[in-house]
Structures are given as C-alpha cells and as structure tokens.
C-alpha cells in the first residue's frame, strides 16, 4: 500500500499516516492538478487537488452570522467534484482559519487532520476539535512532514512556539511543488517566524500566499527574497476591518514587481498546473 506521507522529525504520535488512501484514488472528478484560493470572506482556505487526491489548508472562518465551512467550502467542493479529502492541514487555532471545521469535517469525515504539535495542548483548538466531533485518532500532530499528493510534493515545517505568546507565532509553513509549479503558505505567521524559517527549507515558489492576509506584521522583504514569488495572494474579506492587505505590503509587492491577487476582489482564484507552471484559469 502506498503511504503518501513520510514523517520527518515528527514530534509526536503520527506514525500511521494516510493508510487506505489508495482506496480513494480517482474518487474526485473535476479538478486536475490545481490550487484554488477559495473566497471565504475574512479568513483562509486553500484547496490542492491532483490525480484524484485533494487536501485543504485551513477551513475558513466562522462568526456569529456566517459559517464558511458549511455555507461556502463544502458546497464549492461538491460543485467542483471533490467528494473526498485526503488531508486537512490547519495552520493554527484562530477562528478565521479553523472556524469552518465543524461543517467540513461533517462532510469529509475520513480526512486526516494535520496540525503543528505545538498546539497539542491549546485549549482553543481542543475545543474546536470537540465541537467538530473529531476523534483524536484523526489528528496527526507534527513538527515537520514530507509527503505527496498526486504530482505535488508537500513539505510542512512548523516553527517552535511559546504558549504564553500569540498563537500566530506557531503557524505551520507549507511548500507545495511539482518541481516547477509551486506555492508557499504560512498562515498568519509574523516576521519573526518568517525569519526563523528562512533556510529551513527552499521556500522559493511561483505563488506566495501572503502571511496574515497581507498584514504589515508579515511579508518581510527578507521573506520575499527567500520565496521570490511571481504572484502573491491575499486571502481577505471585502472591506475587512483590518485593512488587509495593507498598503505597506502592497508597496513591497509593487517594488518587487510581484502581481497581487486577492480573494475579496477576484473571488475564487484557480491556478492549474500546466507544464510545471501555475496558470490562472476561470474554474471548472
Ligand atoms: Zn488569519
């Protein structure tokens, strides 16, 4: 049996990963080798699909008045022919990233959840898992992982974290590539984490998912030099109260000649892997 994930320096627990995955190969119909930045309002949700496999990085926000998991992500995935998720990677416990878990887990209960081991005792996160009725056996707590999702190599690295600080500081970093088409994401990680992660991996990527929705506390010039993106994505809500993406980050992108796309204005952003390069398309 093919085991797609191989753990590298895993801190805890996750030794049996992706078991039975082959059963579901080819189950998803419509999308090819793609990444989709789903327009979920003020929050994050990125879909990766390849050769019948699919994974999400974050599951969108939930507020008192809206639930992106139930109302946006699940209907969109079904509409696009995604009937099975192999993995749900969660960057960190904030509600704009994990709030949609109840709806997404209900619709895709067999998806393995991957999260940084630094949040293993995070009360906020454990409460989210409880509300979503996620069994502990469904979660792999990791410090780093290397795996494959169809044609894509997925590399996860998690910075160390002091629980007395803001949990943005423990955000998971993910690098996805097929040798050419490539994407780097970092949740809401601030500049200190970007600094800590430079050199840990080759983060060079065609597309950079901007840290913290384009906050001025992320996307340092050093991080831009490390990633060298051609395209930057800001996942943010229309007229969001934080002013994301911020002018200071937009200026840095402009200075470096990096194209900015944003989910609040562009809607869902589909990038198809064409000859080892991500090319924007209108969607299925
Ligand atoms: Zn966020």
Q: DSSP letters along 243-273, please? A: -SSPHHHHHHHHHTT-EEEEHHHH-SEEEEE
Does 26 reside within a domain? yes
Average pLDDT over every residue of 93-117: 97
Does 226 reside within a domain? yes
Does 274 reside within a domain? no
pLDDT at 27: 59
CA dihedral 62, 137, 116, 84 (to 10 degrees): -60
CA of 260 to the centre of ligand 1 (A): 18
Integer-rounded Cα Rg, in Å, for the chain is 17
The string of pLDDT tens digits covering residues 219-265 is 999 999 999 999 999 999 999 999 999 999 999 999 999 999 999 99
CA of 278 to the centre of ligand 1 (A): 24
Does 152 reside within a domain? yes
Does 273 reside within a domain? no
CA of 189 to the centre of ligand 1 (A): 9
The string of pLDDT tens digits covering residues 36-72 is 999 999 999 999 999 999 999 999 999 988 999 999 9
Residue 102: helix, strand or coil by DSSP? Answer: helix
Does 205 reside within a domain? yes
Does 272 reside within a domain? no
Angle (CA) 61-229-280 rounded to 5° is 70
Does 279 reside within a domain? no
Domain boundaries, position 182: 5-266
CA of 196 to the centre of ligand 1 (A): 19
Give how many domains the chain has, as a whole number.
Answer: 1
- Residue 148: give its domain's CATH number: 3.60.15.10
CA of 122 to the centre of ligand 1 (A): 17
């Amino acid at each position: 049996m093919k085991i797609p994930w191989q753990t590298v320096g895993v801190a805890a627990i996750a030794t049996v990963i992706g078991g039975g995955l082959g059963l579901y190969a080819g189950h998803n119909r419509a999308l090819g080798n793609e990444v989709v930045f789903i327009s979920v309002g003020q929050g994050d949700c990125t879909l990766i699909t390849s050769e019948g496999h699919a994974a999400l990085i974050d599951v969108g926000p939930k507020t008192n008045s809206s639930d992106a998991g139930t109302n946006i992500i699940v209907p969109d995935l079904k509409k696009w022919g995604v009937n099975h998720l192999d993995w749900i990677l969660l960057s960190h416990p904030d509600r704009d990233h994990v709030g949609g878990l109840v709806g997404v887990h209900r619709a895709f209960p067999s998806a393995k959840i991957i999260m940084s081991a630094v949040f293993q005792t995070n009360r906020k996160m454990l409460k989210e898992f409880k509300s979503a009725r996620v069994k502990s056996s469904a979660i792999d707590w990791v410090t780093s992982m290397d795996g494959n999702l169809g044609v894509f190599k997925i590399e996860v690295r998690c910075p160390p974290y002091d629980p007395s600080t803001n949990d943005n500081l423990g955000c998971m970093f993910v690098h996805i590539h097929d040798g050419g088409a490539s994407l780097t994401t970092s949740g809401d990680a601030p500049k200190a984490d970007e600094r800590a992660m430079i050199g840990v991996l080759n983060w060079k990527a065609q597309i950079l998912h901007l840290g913290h929705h384009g906050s001025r506390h992320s996307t340092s010039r050093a991080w831009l030099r490390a990633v060298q993106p051609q395209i930057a994505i800001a996942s943010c809500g229309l007229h969001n109260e934080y002013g994301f993406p911020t002018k200071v980050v937009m200026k840095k992108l402009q200075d470096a000649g990096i194209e900015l796309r944003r989910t609040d204005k562009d809607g869902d952003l589909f990038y198809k892997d064409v000859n080892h390069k991500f090319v924007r398309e209108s969607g299925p």
